[in-house]
């Protein structure tokens, strides 16, 4: 992947801020905050697939990978760099 994690996070934050019509920080859990619903979750998956040219497989559909911009960045880089995403820890939520 040609962009670094910081650039990817900024891009994801721009998308989220525009889509949710409010500022979103890199560690804001937009699901826990009630800002998104299941329909938006599908939109988020589609955005990630289209923007970063990757395929989100059924086994990738772990909410913890999608709940913050920083976690989504880790997921994107793991998929595009061929590595496995780091597991989420309950204390990170």
pLDDT at residue number 89: 45
Per-residue pLDDT tens listing for the chain (93 residues): 467 999 999 999 999 999 999 999 999 999 999 999 989 999 999 999 999 999 999 999 998 999 999 999 999 999 998 655 444 444 443
pLDDT at residue number 81: 84
CB 19 within 8 A of CB 42: no
pLDDT at residue number 91: 42
CB-based contacts of 33, cutoff 8 Å, min separation 6: none
pLDDT at residue number 3: 79
* C-alpha to C-alpha distance for 25 and 30, rounded to whole angstroms: 9
Q: Is the pTM of the predicted complex or chain greater than 0.75?
A: yes
| Tokens read off for 52 | 């970063």
């Amino acid at each position: 992947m040609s962009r670094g994690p910081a650039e990817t996070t900024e891009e994801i934050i721009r998308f989220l801020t525009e889509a949710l019509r409010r500022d979103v920080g890199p560690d804001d859990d937009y699901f826990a905050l009630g800002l998104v619903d299941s329909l938006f979750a599908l939109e988020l998956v589609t955005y990630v697939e289209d923007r970063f040219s990757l395929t989100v497989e059924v086994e990738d559909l772990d909410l913890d990978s999608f709940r913050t911009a920083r976690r989504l960045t880790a997921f994107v880089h793991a998929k595009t760099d061929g590595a496995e995403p780091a597991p989420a820890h309950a204390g990170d939520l």
